[in-house]
């Protein structure tokens, strides 16, 4: 088996590469900078060059792969302005359109495309339990996710099984939200954000990799798939669990006005939440290694995953 991955050096992409390589699966990375791409232990990584900005992409090498996993995208966790928002959206939507156009040009296409998305699709929904059939929210992130998913699902018209993974907060010490949270919590000055009542839909790094591999293997699994653990937590519950895992207090709140002052519009992703359930993964037999938050946090901190 051979799998092509965009965003192969990102947080999820790196973990996915390691998992696939451990099982002897060949990997080709879609990269803007092929010369610096690396495989496990710094070994050279087979790459396919593409340039989303110019639309330069010779997709013909993808005729030799069985599956494509599309994870590329500009980081969301940064202060937003109009230029940043445009980059966040275009890095996802334009890259997905370019990829699907490349796949359309092939004589032999991969069997499956798994594309990234995010629980931001649902917007701020309070205590509502959200499954894959729940409607989209409104605002910048929901609208970006909708456009992103729509671009990916165009591959269905090419005869490719296609899934979009609405990923939650990925628990890993190597990157993402948890890595940014750790310094203040280790100093004992962490705590809930805003009201603390907003829901956080999280997933252990091993389980988001496991979920993607599950989708690759399940011939009848397609469309939207929630990439979250089955037990979302409120922000207050999450911060208490992180404090316990670090043996540190976690009671100093981050006030709403301070977050808006520091992060501007981007503060909405900290102050709003989604209570997401991975119904399709559960119904198709995926068994979570880390279904509960406390165990998941303890594991990533102990193993530095």
Residue 185 is assigned to a structural domain of this protein: no
Backbone angles phi, psi at 69, to 5 degrees: -120, 120
Beta bridge partners of 223: 163
Which residue has tokens 């190597």?
174
Please choose, from the candidates 238, 249, 235, 236, the residue with its C-alpha nearest in 3D space to the C-alpha of residue 186.
249
Report pLDDT for 259.
60
The pLDDT value given to residue 189: 83
Interstrand relation of 233-234 and 199-200 (parallel, antiparallel or unpaired): antiparallel
The whole domain housing 120 covers 2-169+204-228+277-288
Residue 8 located in a structural domain: yes
Give domain status of residue 249, yes or no.
no
Please report whether residue 263 resides in a domain: no
For 3, phi and psi rounded to 5 degrees? Answer: -125, 135
Residue 250 lies in a domain: no
Do the beta carbons of residue 279 and residue 132 sit within 8 Å? yes
| Number of domains the chain is built from | 1
The one-digit pLDDT tens for each residue of the chain (305 residues) are 999 999 999 999 999 999 999 999 999 999 887 654 555 555 568 999 999 989 999 999 999 999 999 999 988 877 788 888 999 999 999 999 999 999 999 999 999 999 999 999 999 999 999 999 999 999 999 999 999 999 999 999 999 999 999 999 999 999 888 888 898 889 888 888 888 999 999 999 999 999 999 999 999 999 999 999 999 999 999 999 999 999 998 888 776 765 665 566 666 778 889 999 999 999 999 999 999 999 999 999 998 77
Q: CATH number, domain at 48?
A: 3.40.50.720
Q: 304 lies in a domain?
A: no
Rounded Cα–Cα distance for residues 294 and 290 (Å): 9
Residue 65 counted as domain residue: yes
Task: Indicate whether 138 belongs to any domain.
Answer: yes
Specify the pTM.
0.93
pLDDT for res 36: 46
């Amino acid at each position: 088996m051979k799998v092509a991955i965009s965003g192969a050096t990102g947080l999820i992409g790196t973990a996915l590469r390691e998992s696939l390589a451990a099982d002897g699966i060949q990997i080709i990375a879609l990269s803007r900078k092929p010369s610096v791409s690396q495989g496990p232990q710094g070994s050279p990584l087979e790459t396919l060059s593409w340039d989303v900005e110019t639309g330069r992409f010779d997709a013909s090498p993808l005729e030799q792969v069985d599956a494509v996993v599309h994870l590329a995208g500009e980081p969301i966790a940064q202060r937003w302005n109009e230029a940043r928002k445009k980059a966040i959206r275009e890095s996802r939507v334009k890259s997905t359109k370019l990829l699907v156009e490349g796949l359309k040009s092939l004589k032999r296409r991969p069997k499956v495309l798994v594309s990234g998305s995010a629980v931001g699709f649902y917007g701020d929904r309070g205590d509502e339990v959200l499954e894959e059939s729940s409607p989209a929210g409104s605002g910048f992130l929901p609208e970006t996710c909708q456009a992103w998913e729509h671009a990916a699902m165009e591959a269905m018209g090419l005869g490719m099984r296609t899934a979009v993974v609405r990923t939650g907060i990925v628990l890993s010490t190597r990157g993402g939200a948890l890595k940014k949270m750790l310094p203040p919590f280790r100093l004992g000055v962490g705590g809930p954000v805003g009201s603390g009542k907003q829901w956080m839909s999280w997933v252990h790094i091993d389980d988001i990799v496991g979920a993607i591999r599950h989708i690759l293997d399940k011939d009848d699994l397609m469309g939207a798939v929630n990439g979250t653990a089955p037990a979302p937590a409120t922000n207050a519950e999450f911060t208490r669990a992180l404090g316990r895992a670090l043996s540190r207090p976690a009671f100093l709140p981050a006030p709403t006005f301070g977050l808006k002052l520091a992060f501007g519009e981007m503060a909405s992703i900290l102050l709003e939440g989604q209570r997401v359930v991975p119904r399709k993964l559960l119904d198709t037999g995926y068994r979570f290694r880390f279904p509960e938050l406390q165990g998941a946090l303890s594991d990533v901190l102990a193993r530095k995953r």
